[in-house]
A and B are shown apart, each in its own frame.
Chain A
Amino acid sequence: MNKIKTKIILLAGLALLFGLYACAHTSSIATQHPVEVTGFPICSDCHTDWRTAMDHTSDWAARHRFYAEQQTGTCKVCHKESFCSDCHAHKEELKPSDKYKDSPERTLPHRGDYLNQHKIDGRINPASCMKCHGRSNNERCLTCHR
């Protein structure tokens, strides 16, 4: 009986979704920003709506994940997938800060001597390691942390 109820609820949910989809008529977000942006984008220089929250200010690196999780499409107006995978890699051997030594103004993980610094960062806030090295991109970690 419970299985039948579950199926009915699922079917009703799917029907509702299709109904809402059929009635939706929103415009898709642009695939490319109409104006070329140089440097760190300060969206509020031009926009006055919700996009002002996406100003790439000094703490952007810490809060960018919320926008990526909520509205990936907006990120892709300016960024290609490879931009994300530079840091969020499945397997990676080159540190982002090594690939982009000519961009010291960017917030990139593991600058300088990270072999020693990772012991400090890992003690202070290991959660910051987890997203990239928890279940992937940890071959280098496993050379010592087996």
Chain B
Amino acid sequence: MQSNGMLIDTFSAPFVKRIVNSVALSILLLCMPAASWAASLSGDSSTYLQSREAADNSKILGGYEYLDFAVQDLGNDTISFHTGGWLRDDFQTEEYGTKTNSDLQYSYLSFKSKTDNTVVNLGRVMVFEGVAAERVDGLYARTDLKAGFGVSAFGGTPVETNINMPGDNVIYGGRLSQGGDSYKIGISALKEEKDSQDYRKEEGIDIWAHAMDKVDITGRSSYNDITKGWMEHTYVLMLGPFSNLRFDTTASWINYDDYFFRATTSALSVINGQILDGEKVRILGESASYRATDNVSIIADYKNFDYTIEGAANYYGGLLKYSADEGSGGAGLGYHRMSGATDKVRYNEYRVYGYKKLGKFDLTADLLDVVYDAPIFGVKDSYSGSLAAQYDLAEAWKLGADVEYSQNPDFNKDVRGMVKLLYRFGAKGGA
């Protein structure tokens, strides 16, 4: 495992370094009298060793260390520190052109009030507020207000990859919401500037309404204020449960020119990539799920994709699921059919899986088979099967291994494997 210095080296902006140093210093200061404050530390360490072959036939043997932890009850029970990241060293070759790689996924000091749901996070924060689904080096804050109102705001440097533009780089935005027990409505906006020029300007409205017993609707519309067009309208109607039967209906409209504006990979770029200029899609979906017993569920789903330029596609099928009591095992059997406008998007998809806890062992088997209507690179049947086993070494330690065999248009008799060591420390936490 590399030193913390390597993590810091991955940042390019001095501003980010200052934030990280400030947060680290704050933590140090807060942790010094930790004994008297009874601060608690909890987290997870996951170590993986993965062996596989890359598309260029090179052999990859990557060692990964994922570490996340939280220090809570700092000073009092309203201040905490959360961080997570990973490091990789390839023992055999250079994966993605580098022998080592790393990422600081999030790292922030958090203040949470016991009233008004007031939260202030400082550092590398993830922001999910209306139109914003961003990772930001900066500040995020939210609070409840009087009369069912709530407000949130964020600002800082956007954490994005592969954008090389000169000058400053700033993102900020917020959301104002109002609601009660049966509804919530929000308006939100974000603005991103690069070199003092508008790079992204988005506004949105989001709703959730519990219209009546067993009837819920949720969704969002977002507007691109630079291209002057609606990016997306997506709404879901949820009905049920009616005697264990539930229906979810989805309707979505996406305008590619507005939605894919500012993508940084050509695969998702309208300007110089593979996204069709002027394309629009309407997606209608229906999902019905039935809990036949406490352990058995049956799900049927259908999606219709209707494009302006490319034609239409339908995806439909079902899944039979079994879940044993208290998560001690389960199984699934599924089938889906994709029926698109061309042979490239026509296939049948089969899935069967099972998992079982036997004493200290967890055993898993999974098979995914895709049969194309027309062969791709001479292959009509693409499948992958995996076996995984995990052993509880101790209450906090687990050792696991898995192997996957696949045959597909890109790999012939491909075998890949992984060994992992998991350690959970400190207080009990969520998933």
Interface residues of A (CB under 8 A from B): 17, 19-21, 23-29, 31-33, 36, 38-40, 44, 49-50, 52-53, 55, 57-59, 62-63, 65-73, 76-85, 88-94, 98-99, 101-105, 111-113, 115-117, 119-120, 122-127, 129-131, 133-146
A86 CB, min distance to chain B CBs, angstroms: 9
User: What are 17 A-B interface contacts by the 8 Å CB criterion?
Assistant: A24-B145, A52-B216, A62-B236, A66-B208, A72-B129, A85-B126, A90-B159, A91-B103, A102-B400, A104-B332, A104-B364, A105-B330, A119-B344, A123-B344, A130-B260, A135-B264, A143-B96
How far does the alpha carbon of A40 sit from the alpha carbon of B205 in the complex, in Å?
Answer: 29
Is B35 an interface position by the 8 A CB rule?
no
Q: Is the CB of B145 within 8 A of A17?
A: yes
- Contact of A59 with B268 in the complex, beta carbons under 8 Å: no
**How many A-B contacts at CB < 8 Å in the complex?**
313
Q: Kindly provide the distance from the CB of A49 to the nearest chain B CB, expressed in whole angstroms.
A: 6
| Residue of B44, B163, B265 touching A82 (CB-CB under 8 A) | B44
Of A27, A58, A90, the contact of B287 (CB 8 Å cutoff): A58
- Tell which of A26, A81, A113, A134 touches B263, judged by Cβ atoms closer than 8 Å: A134
B425 on the interface (CB 8 Å rule)? no
**Shortest beta-carbon distance, A6 to chain B, in Å?**
16
Contacting residue for B388 out of A71, A101, A140, CB 8 A: A101
A32 and chain B: residue at smallest CB distance? B430
Give A104 to B344 CA distance when docked, in angstroms.
27
Chain A residue numbers with a CB within 8 Å of B19 are: none
Residue in A53, A105, A126, A127 whose CB lies within 8 Å of B332: A105
**Which of A28, A39, A93, A139 makes the CB contact (< 8 A) with B115?**
A28
Given contacts A73-B119, A127-B254, A130-B268, contact A49 B181 (CB under 8 A): yes
Q: Which residues of B contact A40 (CB under 8 A)?
A: 323
Interface pair A82/B144, CB less than 8 Å apart: no
When C-beta atoms are compared, the residue in chain A nearest to B390 turns out to be A102
What CA separation (Å) do A90 and B125 show in the bound complex?
11
- Assess whether B218 is in contact with A66, with CB atoms less than 8 Å apart: yes
Identify which of B289, B323, B402 contacts A57 (C-beta below 8 A). Answer: B289
Query: For residues 19 through 71 of chain B, which have their beta carbon under 8 Å from a beta carbon of chain A?
Result: 44, 46, 48, 50, 55, 62, 64, 66, 68, 70
Residues of A within 8 A of B75 (CB): none
9 closest A-B pairs by CB: A20-B145, A145-B267, A104-B353, A113-B408, A23-B146, A112-B368, A112-B384, A91-B103, A82-B68
Residue of B nearest to A33 (CB): B430
Q: Given known contacts A81-B82, A101-B418, what 7 new A-B pairs fall within 8 Å (CB)?
A: A17-B145, A25-B115, A40-B323, A59-B301, A98-B50, A99-B420, A127-B281
Residues of chain A within 8 A of B431, CB atoms compared:
78-80, 83
Which chain B positions have C-beta within 8 A of A23?
145-146
Contact flags (1/0) for B264-282 with A, using CB distance below 8 Å?
A: 1111100001110000010
Q: Is the CB of B266 within 8 A of A25?
A: no
Across the interface, which residues of B come within 8 angstroms of A55, CB to CB? 246
Minimal beta-carbon separation of A15 from chain B (angstroms): 13
Query: Which residues in B have their C-beta under 8 angstroms from that of A72?
Result: 128-129
A58 contacts B319, C-beta separation under 8 Å: yes
Q: Give the contacting residue for B128; candidates A69, A78, A111, A117; CB below 8 A.
A: A69
Say yes or no for B156: interface residue by CB 8 A criterion: no
Distance between A129 CB and nearest chain B CB, rounded to angstroms? 6
Query: B262, A135: Cβ atoms under 8 Å?
Result: yes
Residues of chain A within 8 A of B354, CB atoms compared: 104
Question: Which of A31, A49, A63, A143 makes the CB contact (< 8 A) with B248?
Answer: A63
Assembled-state Cα–Cα distance A72/B140 (Å): 12
B347 contacts across to A, CB distance below 8 A: 120
CB distance from A89 to the nearest CB of B (A): 6
In the complex with contacts A90-B159, A104-B353, A134-B268 CB distance below 8 A:
yes
Residues of A within 8 A of B160 (CB): 90, 135-136
A123 CA to B342 CA in the complex, in Å? 11
Known: A63-B236, A73-B119, A113-B384. A145 touches B68 (CB 8 A): no
B297 — nearest CB in chain A belongs to which residue?
A58
Scan residues 301-338 of chain B and give those whose CB is less than 8 A from a CB of chain A: 301, 305, 310, 313, 315, 319, 321, 323, 326-327, 330, 332, 338
A21 touches B116 (CB 8 A): yes
Complex Cα–Cα for A98 and B64 (A): 13
Residue of A nearest to B188 (CB): A69
B248 in contact with A59 (CB, 8 Å): yes
Contact of A116 with B355 at beta-carbon distance under 8 Å, contacts A102-B364, A105-B330 already known: no
Is residue B203 within 8 Å, beta carbon to beta carbon, of the partner chain? no
Instruction: Choose among A70, A82, A127 the residue that contacts B186 (Cβ–Cβ < 8 A).
Output: A70
Which A residues touch B145, using CB under 8 A? 17, 20-21, 23-24
Are B96's CB and A145's CB within 8 A? no
Residue of B nearest to A143 (CB): B96
Choose among B62, B66, B315, B355 the residue that contacts A105 (Cβ–Cβ < 8 A).
B355
